[in-house]
Structure 1
Amino acid sequence: MIHVKSPEQIELMRESALIVSKTLGMLAKEVKPGVTTIQLDKLAEQFIRDHGAKPGFLGLYDCPSTLLTSINMAVVHGLPTDEPLKEGDIVSIDCGALMNGFYGDHAYTFEIGEIAPETKKLLEVTKESLYIGIKEFKAGNRVGDVGHAIQQYCEKHGYGVVRELVGHGVGEKMHEDPEMPNYGKRGRGKKFIEGMVVAIEPMINMGTQRIKQLKDGWTIVTADGKPSAHFEHDVALVDGKPELLSTFAYIYEALGIESNEEDEFRKKALVL
């Protein structure tokens, strides 16, 4: 069952999403060689609580952490550890927050120092596919239109599109209907309706699409050991068009990156 949100609820969800965005922006300054993901996890939990929200993942499905930190061949759901990040690593940081009775859920894959050119290309294509998918989240379209657009773009570059893990609706629960696969056929699946809010999150592998789970019961890795990238936004359907509730702008501000990639998905400029 799809839970349609009122304009007022969407504004509350924007606050929840932006808490996560601000948390990732804070972490962007801390993600560097020598830092452990457990250290990042503690910083994130404190930041979220200091801003009047609760960590969205901590305790959810018995999750033991505020962040899910997936390094190199880890696709998603990596648990924070005391292993230091190294030059050339990539780490997907997935974060959630509960505020105003609604969840925000948002992810970004960070570069640790200088990374291999082929890995940088993977990150670029995966992030580009996120916005290609978001463009298809509009009145009259269906779930398959988003998945098809992401799949076609990533497979054109020779990458594997994970099948077993999908995006999802988000709201008073972290995971709501509909499921949002990153693959599919145009015109298939549930139809998008005004007031829907979804988390669109391409999970794209440099090699095979196949994955496996580690013995910790959480971490999902690529079957061939090659890197994987993951980017995620919360998006509402407003006036028949996709509107971003989350943003990478705080990350870009911290890293000195200039970008206009989000402009077409906002009614007005974001004030940092």
Structure 2
Amino acid sequence: MPRDATGVLIPGVLSPERHVPSNIIRPPYVGKTTPPAHTTGDVYDAETIEKIRRAGKISSQALDLIGSVIKPGMTTDEIDQIGHDFVISHGAYPSTLGYRGYPKSLCTSVNEVICHGIPDDTVIQEGDLVNVDITSYLDGVHGDTNRTFIVGETSPEVRDLVERTHEALNRGIKAVAPGREVNVIGRAIESYAKRFGYGVVRDFTGHGVGTSFHSGLIIPHYDSAPLYNDIMEVGMVFTIEPMLTLGTHEWDMWADDWTVTTKDKSWTAQFEHTLVVTETGADILTLS
């Protein structure tokens, strides 16, 4: 079980890369060290937005399934298998697999892991937090979402963190409106999180998504004004995915160049939706 004597997570053993049927179309970055540059902006037409919604629905339904079966004793690799099988069974490609060399079909970030945890032989224990981040690629577009699951019973402090992180996402979504700068999203999230003394992760952000997995558009989760002043437009698609911690917002990176943990090893939670800016606010594209 890859944890040290104090219960802090350490790297585990990875299983072989999972198979994707040859008839499923791969994103253009698979087999390459870096994805092609995104050159077409973040505003999409109605037809493309509906494609993103279909991809996003697959991702959301995969999380529904994972949430219904996750339990103590499972490994994070088993969660990856479940998500992988669900996505390919719907004719989609798991976007993380092969993205900049990432070796698995989703991310499993447990307890103090903020994001990008790689599924391995880590055994999930009673009371753990497991943040599962999954993206599906279908018909040339990506739908990206994540949720934090509480496994079994946990402390009131941890349960509050999860519930309030979900509420922080909702508040970020409510801040979306055409004509506003994207930094108002982070302002809404941080002002809420500060009420409880939570750390708000700054260096890992929401992003433009659609025909590219990450377009280059940055959506901050903290009050970053006057930085990140892109103006939201009708038809603009991006993710909001706040990461809140019980301690510091500062972080360490494992030697795998993916796994990000809180520097003080405090626990953390995250929720994410892909959405499109509408005339009246936001339309969530990653619902079941």
**TM-score under structure 2 length normalisation:** 0.84
Distance (Å, rounded) in 2 between the aligned partners of 1:81 and 1:178: 31
Aligned mate of 1:6, from 45, 49, 52:
45
Q: CA deviation at 1:187?
A: 7.1
Q: Which residue of 2 aligns with 1:21?
A: 60
| Alignment check: 8 A CA contact 1:159 1:205 kept | yes
The one-letter code matched in structure 2 to 1:104 is G
Distance (Å, rounded) in 2 between the aligned partners of 1:195 and 1:149: 21
Aligned mate of 1:142, from 177, 181, 193:
181
Gaps of 5+ in 1: 251-272
Distance (Å, rounded) in 1 between the aligned partners of 2:280 and 2:252: 38
The 5 Å alignment of 1:22-37 reads 22-37=61-76
| Alignment check: 8 A CA contact 1:41 1:66 kept | yes
The 5 Å alignment of 1:168-247 reads 168-185=207-224, 189-247=229-287
| Alignment check: 8 A CA contact 1:206 1:227 kept | yes
| Alignment check: 8 A CA contact 1:150 1:182 kept | yes
SS in 1 for 2:114: strand
Distance (Å, rounded) in 2 between the aligned partners of 1:33 and 1:185: 39
* Higher deviation after alignment, 187-196 or 89-98: 187-196
**Aligned residue pairs, count:** 248
The 5 Å alignment of 1:73-222 reads 73-185=112-224, 189-222=229-262
Confirm whether residue 69 of structure 1 aligns to residue 111 of structure 2: no
Aligned mate of 1:48, from 79, 84, 87:
87
Gaps of 5+ in 2: 1-38
Q: CA deviation at 1:81?
A: 1.3
The one-letter code matched in structure 2 to 1:212 is D
SS in 2 for 1:176: coil
* Higher deviation after alignment, 232-241 or 150-159: 232-241
Q: CA deviation at 1:152?
A: 0.8
Q: CA deviation at 1:84?
A: 1.3
Distance (Å, rounded) in 1 between the aligned partners of 2:77 and 2:216: 32
**TM-score under structure 1 length normalisation:** 0.88
Q: CA deviation at 1:238?
A: 2.1
The one-letter code matched in structure 1 to 2:265 is G
Q: CA deviation at 1:177?
A: 3.6
Distance (Å, rounded) in 1 between the aligned partners of 2:121 and 2:161: 26
Distance (Å, rounded) in 2 between the aligned partners of 1:93 and 1:36: 13
Q: CA deviation at 1:186?
A: 5.8
SS in 2 for 1:40: helix
Q: Deviations over 1:83-137 (max 9, x none)?
A: 2100010000000110010001100000000011100111111110001000111
Distance (Å, rounded) in 2 between the aligned partners of 1:5 and 1:196: 6
Quick one: percent identity of the two aligned structures? Answer: 37
Cα RMSD (Å) of the superposition? Answer: 1.3
Tell which structure's C-alpha radius of gyration is larger.
Answer: 2
Distance (Å, rounded) in 1 between the aligned partners of 2:224 and 2:260: 25
Distance (Å, rounded) in 2 between the aligned partners of 1:187 and 1:227: 30
SS in 1 for 2:69: coil
SS in 1 for 2:122: coil
